[in-house]
Amino acid sequence: MLIWHGRAAGELEQMDLPDCDAQKLENTYRQFGLVNRIVSGWRRLYVKELRPVLSAGPASILDIGSGGGDLAVMLARWAARDGLAVRVTGVDPDPRAAAFARTRTPIPGVDFRQAHTAELVSEGAAFDVVISNHVLHHLGTEEFNELLVHSDVLARKKALHNDLRRSAVAFALFGVATLPLRNSFIREDGLTSIRRSYTGAELSALAPPGWTVEPGAAFHQVLALHRRGHER
C-alpha cells in the first residue's frame, strides 16, 4: 500500500511484539532519547505549552506510554534549569518499557510505573498536564477513544498528544536519516509508524468535541485539550 493511499493500520511495530529481540529492544529504548530530541519537537511544546503552566507553581505531568523514559527525564531537566517545581510520572503498560525506565539514573521529581491509564482513573489521580509522544498511531479505535476519555478525566489544565503526521516526504527523509542507527528497531519501526500515523484531516475527523488538532514540529501534529484559561 502506498503511504499516501491510507493508513497502514494493520501493520505492527516489531518492538511491540512480545517475543522481539531483547537486545534490539533495549537499544531502541536507549536511542529514543536521541531521536526524540531531534524530531519530536518537545522543546517547542515545553516552551509554549508546558512552561506557562509549570510557572504557576508546583505542577505535575503525566507521560502516557512513556517507553524508555527519555521524555519524562528531558522535561524534568528543562524545568529544573528554569527553576520550576514539577513532578513527572511516566506510565507504560509494557513491563519491558517500565523496567528499562526504572534502570535510569534517578532524577528528582521523576517516577516510573507499569500501569494503564484506567488504573490511574480508578485511583482518582489527577495531573496538571497529560501528555503522550508517538502513541496515537499505535492504538486501535477503542484504545484511541479510551485514551482521550481518560486524558479528559486525568488532566486538570491541558492534554497534549504529540504524534507523527503521515507523509511520503517524512517517510523518505526518516528512512535516510536513520540509516546509521543499527542493532535496534528505530528505523524499521519508525517507517512503520509513519505509515500507521494520521494525516491532519484524518486526525481531525476523529477528534471529539473539545479536542483540536494543532501543528507540531516538522511532520508532527498535536491532538490537544485545553481547559478554559489555559489556551494557547
Q: What is the per-residue pLDDT for 6?
A: 86
d(Cα 119, Cα 114) in Å, to the nearest integer?
10
- Does residue 136 lie within any of the structural domains? yes
Kindly report the CATH number assigned to the domain that includes residue 203: 3.40.50.150
The total domain count for the chain is 1
Q: What is the separation, in whole angstroms, between the first and last Cα of the chain?
A: 38
- Does residue 55 lie within any of the structural domains? yes
Could you report the per-residue pLDDT of 48-68, keeping only the tens digit for each? 999 999 999 899 999 999 999
The rounded percent of the chain whose pLDDT value lies above 90 is: 93
69 exposed, middle or buried (CB, 10 Å; 0-12, 13-18, 19+)? buried
Q: What is the per-residue pLDDT for 1?
A: 44
- Does residue 208 lie within any of the structural domains? yes
Averaged pLDDT score across all residues of the chain:
94
Say whether 184 sits in a helix, a strand or coil: coil
Helices 22-39 and 95-102, axial angle in degrees (round to 10): 70
- Does residue 231 lie within any of the structural domains? no
- Does residue 176 lie within any of the structural domains? yes
- Does residue 141 lie within any of the structural domains? yes
pTM for this prediction: 0.94
Could you report the per-residue pLDDT of 151-162, keeping only the tens digit for each? 999 999 999 999
Could you report the per-residue pLDDT of 107-131, keeping only the tens digit for each? 999 999 999 999 999 999 999 999 9
Range of 130's domain?
Answer: 3-226
- Does residue 77 lie within any of the structural domains? yes
- Does residue 232 lie within any of the structural domains? no
* Residue 4: pLDDT over 60: no
**Grid cell at residue 120:** 490511574
